């Protein structure tokens, strides 16, 4: 369906409407597909188990199997608000999130209630089958009622501390799924290689944008370095491969011959990919009669905002494309729009913008604070045809392997060792520290890379005699960039 206005809906059943026998999900190399009819039946069964007179907050510990998607859709169909949680976070971190947001229900893969959940007063209840554990806790009567339009909570990127949640409605999620399907030409014949985690907004949107138009997704838990990864794609006949810069850089080194012939659409989002690699994959897709699309988005926009179509790439290499259907890009300086070609703060206006942020349980009760407008925190300009070129960030974030990571937060992680200053190095975070060689700094960097789930090489530690500072004692990041030559 062409998008000209927001899709009005109260839940996510539009994602799984369609023919009863049409394929919907496949679990890696497993035999056979879960049909759309079987998926609806499973979702309805779980929704019945979770039914409650009051809207409740549900944490779903998100893996990559079909039972997780059933858990998400079932909890939403029961009328609840659902937060997608990375299950690989340390138990104490998830515990901190539970103490902060106080979910009444936690859904986890497996048959057994995790001990740390039991310690927090959660009780296991019967689940429809052995693939899912339902843990419940009595509601806190002091918590305000959850708004009817609150549907999905996506954590802001990064894994240390207690994350903020991005609050989304059903309308923003389903609208963005249709926007993406329209610009990428996804149809009922589309099959996504869904290897990105569902708790990551890009991974979620890949599945949603296929299901919403009658397409399907093969859910892959293996990494692209494994034979099973590519075997699952080939066996399912997947034709759409999504990836962040890390995946494309890795594939460029391993050899693009790994990509099966069934893949005809490649999409790249989750951060800036160097132009040489972009060109390489554009040429690769062109040679097999396919398409390579560059996309730009943020979790706050459900999550995608622009697309540079394959055919537009040669004339506009370096651009992240134009706004999705129904959306609009604006470049502002001091609150005023600037002319084409002039640089300023990038704003996105569209029906897929979030309701707002939440940092506490009470924040979940807030109304729509955004009204369809998102200040992205990025700096850039529009050409005469409305194509966006990004030139920097107004806030100190780096995007690594699809994760948005605060540079100030990284600096704080080293504070107990030595003075440090961080710069965004494109595909790396550059960590400069003062003084003599210190192996503890490099050890800390390796530990943080594991904690943040980024490749170790993307946290680059460099020694410097003295970090340049302003007369007031603050780090001069501009001077640091000059003296370091980056």
What does the alpha-carbon distance between residue 239 and residue 285 come to, in Å, rounded to a whole number?
A: 12
Which pTM was predicted? 0.84
DSSP element (H, E) containing 191: strand 191-194
Contact 410, 460 (CB under 8 A): no
Tokens found for residue 311: 């055919």
Among candidates 21, 12, 3, 17, which has minimal Cα distance to 73? 12
Count of residues making up the chain: 486
Question: Which residues lie closer than 8 Å to 341 by C-beta, 6 or more apart?
Answer: 381, 382, 383, 384
Among candidates 359, 352, 358, 484, which has minimal Cα distance to 420? 484
Q: What is the pLDDT of residue 189?
A: 97
Give the 3-state secondary structure of residue 484. helix
Counts of helices then strands in the chain (DSSP H, E) = 12, 27
Q: What is the pLDDT of residue 158?
A: 45
What does the alpha-carbon distance between residue 36 and residue 144 come to, in Å, rounded to a whole number?
A: 36
295-325 residue pLDDT tens: 999 999 999 999 999 999 999 999 999 999 9
If the chain, 486 residues long, is cut into consecutive pieces of 10 residues, what is the mean pLDDT of each piece? 67 90 96 96 94 96 88 96 91 90 91 80 73 90 95 75 89 97 97 95 96 97 94 98 91 94 96 88 98 96 97 97 98 92 96 97 97 94 96 79 81 80 89 86 91 89 86 73 82
Q: At what angle do helices 245-254 and 275-287 cross, to 10 degrees?
A: 70
Question: Which residues lie closer than 8 Å to 157 by C-beta, 6 or more apart?
Answer: 200, 299, 402, 403, 404, 405
Among candidates 324, 453, 333, which has minimal Cα distance to 391? 333
123 C-beta neighbours (distance < 10 Å), count:
12
Question: Between vectors from CA 259 to CA 253 and to CA 261, what angle results, nearest 5°?
Answer: 150
Q: What is the DSSP letter of 33?
A: -
- Residue ranges and CATH numbers for the domains of the chain are 13-390 (3.40.50.12780), 397-484 (3.30.300.30)
Q: What is the pLDDT of residue 129?
A: 57
Task: For 86-155, list the strands marked E by DSSP.
Answer: 105-109, 123-125, 132-136, 152-155
Task: For 271-394, list the strands marked E by DSSP.
Answer: 291-297, 304-308, 322-323, 328-333, 336-337, 344-349, 356-358, 373-382, 388-393
Q: What is the DSSP letter of 321?
A: B
Q: What residue has token string 């019967």?
A: 126
């Amino acid at each position: 369906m062409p998008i000209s206005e927001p899709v009005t809906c109260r839940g996510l059943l539009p994602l799984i409407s369609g023919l009863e026998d049409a394929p919907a999900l496949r679990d890696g190399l497993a035999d056979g597909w879960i049909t759309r009819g079987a998926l609806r039946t499973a979702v309805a069964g779980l929704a019945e188990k979770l039914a409650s007179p009051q809207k409740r907050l549900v944490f779903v510990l998100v893996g990559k199997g079909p039972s997780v998607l059933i858990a998400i859709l079932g909890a939403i169909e029961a009328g609840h608000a659902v937060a997608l949680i990375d299950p690989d976070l340390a138990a104490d971190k998830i515990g901190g999130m539970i103490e902060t947001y106080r979910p009444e229900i936690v859904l986890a893969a497996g048959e057994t209630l995790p001990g740390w959940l039991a310690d927090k007063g959660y009780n296991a209840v019967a689940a429809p089958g052995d693939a899912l554990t339902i843990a419940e806790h009595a509601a806190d009567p002091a918590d305000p009622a959850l708004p009817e339009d609150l549907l999905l909570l996506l954590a802001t990127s990064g894994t240390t501390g207690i994350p903020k949640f991005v609050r989304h409605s059903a309308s923003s999620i389903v609208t963005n799924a249709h926007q993406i399907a329209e610009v990428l030409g996804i149809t009922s014949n589309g099959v996504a290689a869904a290897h990105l985690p569902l708790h990551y907004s890009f991974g979620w949107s890949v599945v949603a944008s296929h299901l919403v138009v009658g397409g399907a997704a093969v859910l892959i838990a293996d990494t692209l370095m494994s034979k099973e990864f590519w075997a699952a794609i080939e066996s399912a006949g997947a034709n759409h491969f999504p990836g962040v810069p890390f995946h494309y850089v890795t594939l460029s080194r391993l050899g693009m011959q790994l990509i099966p012939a069934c893949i005809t659409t490649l999409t790249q989002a989750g951060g800036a990919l160097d132009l040489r690699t972009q060109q390489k994959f554009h040429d690769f897709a062109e040679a097999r009669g396919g398409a390579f699309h560059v996309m730009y988005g943020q979790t706050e926009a459900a999550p995608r905002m622009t697309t540079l179509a394959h055919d537009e790439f040669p004339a506009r290499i370096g651009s992240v494309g134009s706004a999705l259907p129904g959306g609009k890009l604006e470049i502002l300086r001091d609150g005023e729009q600037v002319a084409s070609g002039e640089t300023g703060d990038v704003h996105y206006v569209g029906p897929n913008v979030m309701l707002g942020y939440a940092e506490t349980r009470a924040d979940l009760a807030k109304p729509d604070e955004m009204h369809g407008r998102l200040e992205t925190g990025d700096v850039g300009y529009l050409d005469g045809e409305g194509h966006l070129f990004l030139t920097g960030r107004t806030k100190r974030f780096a995007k690594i392997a699809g994760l948005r990571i605060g540079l100030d937060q990284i600096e704080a992680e080293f504070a107990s060792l030595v003075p440090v200053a961080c710069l965004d190095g494109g595909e790396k975070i550059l960590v400069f520290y003062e003084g003599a060689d210190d192996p503890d700094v490099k050890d800390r960097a390796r530990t943080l890379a594991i904690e943040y789930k980024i490749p170790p090489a993307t946290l680059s530690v460099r020694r410097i005699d003295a970090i340049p500072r302003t007369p007031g004692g603050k780090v001069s990041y501009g001077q640091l960039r000059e003296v370091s030559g980056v």
